Amino acid sequence: MLRLHVGLGHIDVDGLTPQEETEIRRHWSRCDVRDHEPPAAADEDDEHRCAADQVPRLTRTSADWTAFHEQIVYDATKAAIASGRGTHIMLHAAALALPKTKQALALTAASGTGKSTATRRLGRHLAYLTDETTIVDPQTRRITPYAKPLSLYGSSGVRPKHQHGPDELGLGPTLEDAELARIAVLDRVREGDEEVLARAEPMDIVTAVTELTPQSSSLGRLPRGLVTLCTLLDSQGGAVRLVYREAEDLLPVVQDLLSSPAAPIDPAWDALTEEELTASLPGAVGARARTEVDDGVLTDDGRLLLLHGTELTVLSGLGAALWLHLDVARTPAELVERLAEETDVPDDAEQIVVQGLDDLAERGLLRR
């Protein structure tokens, strides 16, 4: 049986032929592949059995090798994500770094939109940390590498994908102590045939968080995960959008970003208090009550960002005001009274409030 070091965790793979073990050692060479023999059942004490149970094990199936190897990648990535859940910022992102300074850039994008291609092209000139899951310590910004093989389509263009180790592809070294200097969102221009100047465009905090949250894993499991992400972005001068047509054109842009780290920016938001995250206290009969959320911030321009599980909701105007006034369950009439203390309200204010409450309910932010 082989044990692979994936992120902060491990995965065991057994039932392989000698030839298949050789393939794993070659393509997963940067994941500290080792022989591993579990203790015999009779010799296991409770402590050892508990530790062993925490390491996922994948046993060789009758599937062809290419398909099974792709399954190893899936399971290894799940184990890597689980290893940092609740303690680290986990981004669905490639990560590359300058070998000398160890300053790293995370390249986030949805599956199938360019991460592996960008990694393959840029990684020949930079240190390769991962093409899939960027694991960041929120306190130190240190990246735990997950230098898996790259999953690339074969000549047929259909699954299963073929696995190619970083050494085979000529990617740069894997660093154990790289520091995340910037987070970028990949935005490849696919339409048209006009020339596209590869460039980095700044992103405001709401746009950045809105695009990054779907590409993060277990942000809601991290204590004050949304606040942590916003703080990280501000410490790096904000996120950037990388606009390009061909990945090769990004190299000077990426090198410039990493060679000249941006200065931190002042937060344009405030964290919600613990009381503002909690569900409404009981109110009158017929009152509407908000649900509890995992985290939230209020921006300087009045937009309210709420993280509820894996979902991020952005509220502005009336929606944000209603949420904040629902510290106690209130009827529409009571909410109108609260709003009238802050601003002029129209004659049909109660009807408008009811519509606003219905919108919050549809978003899963009110208790039924």
Model confidence over 335-367: pLDDT tens digits? 999 999 999 999 999 999 999 999 999 999 998
Q: Evaluate the omega torsion of the peptide bond into residue 282 and state whether it is cis, within 30 degrees of 0.
A: no
Q: Which residues of the chain are modeled with pLDDT < 50?
A: 48-52
- 99 within 8 A of 67, measured Cβ to Cβ: no
Q: Give the pLDDT of residue 114.
A: 86
Could you give the angle at the alpha carbon of 241 between the alpha carbons of 235 and 245, nearest 5°? Answer: 150
What gap in Å lies between CA 130 and CA 116, rounded to an integer?
Answer: 9
How many Cα atoms occupy the beta-carbon half-sphere of 308 within 13 Å? 17
E-only strand ranges, 209-324: 216-217, 240-244, 269-271, 295-299, 304-308, 311-315
Q: What is the pLDDT at residue 52? A: 45
Bridge partners (DSSP) listed for residue 172? 127
pLDDT of residue 286: 87
State the Cα–Cα distance between residues 212 and 206, nearest whole angstrom. 10
